[in-house]
Amino acid sequence: MYLLLAHGPNLNLLGERKPEVYGTTTLADIEAEVAGVANGRGAAVLCFQSNHEGALIDALHSYRRVVDGVVLNAGAWTHTSVALRDAIEAIQLPVVEVHLSNTHRREAFRHRSLIAGVCIGQVTGLGRDGYRVATNLLLDYLEGRP
């Protein structure tokens, strides 16, 4: 079983950008942790990050026949991208939306996720632990667990 761990804009700067909001964990740290969780359950993880909306959409399209599901932190595109929402719906794979910070405790424009309605779940506000929760949620779903 293969999972895609996908990240949107500015997430390549994790560990440096707003550590008071996002913590000091780097993207490489998150990728390694997700791979560890997945590997422990017999799955492998492919990782992708882009600051370009079309590149993320292209990656979702390209990986749709390679992976069984997606853990996605779309960053700011969560709140703005109808195109990303449509791509998630089009690939017909289970996607779990994840955010390091609690988007509902931040600026009002971050309270609404345009992608939540086409994802199987949303994990927000648990920091780096949210990725572990999201990965297990996705694997449980793929294994047919409630």
Q: For position 47, which CATH number holds?
A: 3.40.50.9100
For the stretch 70-118, pLDDT in tens is: 999 999 999 889 999 999 999 999 999 999 988 777 778 777 899 999 9
Furthest-apart CA atoms within the chain: distance in Å = 40
Exposure of 107 in the CB half-sphere (CA atoms within 13 A): 5
- Residue 65 in any domain: the answer is yes
Average pLDDT, the chain: 93
Highest mean pLDDT among 9-18, 52-61, 93-102, 108-117: 52-61
Any binding-site annotation on 86?
yes
Instruction: Name the catalytic one among 7, 63, 99, 131.
Output: 99
- Residue 46 in any domain: the answer is yes
- Give helix 82-91 / helix 53-63 axis angle, nearest 10°: 0
pLDDT band at 146 (very low <50, low <70, confident <90, very high): low
- Residue 50 in any domain: the answer is yes
- Residue 103 in any domain: the answer is yes
Number of domains in the chain: 1
7 is a catalytic site residue: no
For the stretch 118-139, pLDDT in tens is: 999 999 999 999 999 999 999 9
Instruction: Name the catalytic one among 7, 22, 63, 131.
Output: 22
22 is a catalytic site residue: yes
Q: Which domain holds residue 132?
A: 2-108+119-142
- Residue 114 in any domain: the answer is no
